A and B are shown apart, each in its own frame.
Chain A
Amino acid sequence: MSRRLRMAILGPALLGLGALFGWAIAGLPAFGDYRGPYGFVLNRLVVPLRHTTNVVMGTTFDVRGVDTMGEEFILYAAVVGVTLLLRDETAGQRAEQRTRRFGSDAVRLIGVLMVGGGILVGLWLVAFGYVTPGGGFQGGVVLAGAILLLYLAGNHRDYRPFRSERLLDPLESLGAGGYVIIGLAALASGSAFLTNLFGPGVAGKLLSGGSIPVLNWTSAIAVTCAMLLLFAEFLETYVVPLAPEDSGS
């Protein structure tokens, strides 16, 4: 299809789609006038039943647990796809010999401090995800970002384990598979797939939510490893910072 033809089709198509959107919007309840029953039901029931004060997390990992499993496997499949596409290329490409070590100790010091802070914030987001805003998905990205700061701060040797596929691949699978295993554990105990196990605990405390914390941690592991794997695959071929001079220091 030529570019001009595509532009000619685009205009009317957008107009038509816009008209359809207008038609659809006219049938929606006005903004702020939410009618669906599920939101109200969940806001009433999740805290008494599951003792997770963050109803969103209670929904993600319990009420909508099977769907979240699907999301985790989208993540998994996407990471596998990236790995297959880029890892093959990695082997054949010549490594770019380039060291980018920051001379300044201050940069490195601040970087290391930020790594510590970032990991702490990430762990806190994961751990208290079902009490206050946060959770495995957000915390996982923060953890991966904090670990990546090691790379940016110039400590390539310390970062090396976090880009090794031998370490990350099993952990990623553990995160995605652990979710299913907890679901199957519920099945083995005689109830439906992903039924909440363990007691509900005390609302507003870390020990609450039954299997929600466990699912939360498995997804945190899955997301952290997925992000690290993505970064590793993308960064690997272009910048290989381990030049000989690096080994001496």
Chain B
Amino acid sequence: MLLATLVPLQAVAFGLVALGAPLVVLTRDPLRQAIVNGIYGVSLVCLFVVLEAPDPALSMLVVSGIGYPLVILAAIARVRGHERTSDEEDR
């Protein structure tokens, strides 16, 4: 009974992931992209869960929740920090 309901869920999850990927790519501003990437990560987590893969889902959850945003945001912050200091030097 429960298994029969999985197929539509899987279809929806696949659809969300297929929709999320171009959204991440088309978001050109890195800061916004970090957020969209997080939402895409959650859609991947949903897909993994309905594909009966709890372990990869957990690992995707922690990675898209903690790992990616921190590393990306820190990189953005450092690029902007550089730009700010070089602006000050120019002045």
User: Cβ of B55 and Cβ of A134 under 8 Å apart?
Assistant: yes
Q: How many residues of B contact A (CB 8 A)?
A: 18
Stretch among B22-30, B31-39, B68-76 lining the A interface: B68-76
Known contacts A96-B81, A237-B78, A238-B77; A148/B59 CB under 8 A: no
**B78 x A234 contact (CB < 8 A):** yes
- The answer, among A54, A138, A148, A234, for a CB contact under 8 Å with B62, is A138
Q: Which of A134, A231, A239 contacts B70 (CB 8 A)?
A: A231
Q: Which A residues between 135 and 179 are near B, CB-CB below 8 angstroms?
A: 135, 137-138, 141-142, 144-145, 148
Known: A134-B58, A138-B59. A144 touches B81 (CB 8 A): no
- Contact check: which of B54, B63, B66, B75 meets A133 at CB < 8 Å? B54
Asked whether A133 and B74 contact (CB < 8 A) given A141-B67, A142-B66, A238-B81, the answer is no
Q: Which residues of A contact B57 (CB under 8 A)?
A: 133
Q: In whole angstroms, what is the CA distance A129 to B75 when docked? A: 32
A230 contacts B78, C-beta separation under 8 Å = no
Contact of A125 among B58, B67, B71 (CB under 8 A): B58
* Least distance between B37 CB and chain A CB atoms (Å): 16
A234 engages B63 (CB within 8 Å): no
Residues of B within 8 A of A112 (CB): none
A interface: dominant SS: helix
Kindly state the separation between the CA atoms of A91 and B63 in the bound complex, as whole angstroms. 29
> Is there a chain B Cβ closer than 8 Å to A194's Cβ?
no
Q: Which residues of B contact A227 (CB under 8 A)?
A: 66-67
Provide the residues of chain A in CB contact with B63, threshold 8 Å. 141
- Whether a CB of chain B sits under 8 angstroms from the CB of A56 is yes
Whether the pair B71, A234 counts as a contact (CB closer than 8 A) is: yes
Asked if A107 is at the interface (CB within 8 A of a chain B CB), the reply is no
Interchain CB contact (< 8 A) of A145 among B58, B62, B75, B78: B62
The one of B55, B66, B74 that contacts A54, using a Cβ cutoff of 8 Å: B55
Cα distance, A227 to B71, chains bound together (Å): 10
Please give 20 more A-B residue pairs, beta carbons under 8 A apart, in addition to A138-B55, A141-B59. A57-B55, A133-B54, A134-B58, A138-B58, A138-B61, A138-B62, A141-B67, A142-B62, A148-B66, A148-B70, A227-B66, A230-B71, A231-B70, A231-B71, A234-B74, A234-B75, A234-B78, A237-B81, A238-B78, A238-B81
Interfacial residues, chain B to chain A (CB-CB below 8 A): 54-55, 57-59, 61-63, 65-67, 70-71, 74-75, 77-78, 81
Q: Enumerate 20 A-B pairs (CB-CB under 8 Å) in ascending A order.
A: A56-B55, A134-B58, A137-B59, A138-B55, A138-B58, A138-B61, A141-B63, A142-B62, A142-B66, A145-B62, A148-B66, A227-B67, A230-B71, A231-B74, A234-B71, A234-B74, A235-B74, A237-B81, A238-B74, A238-B81
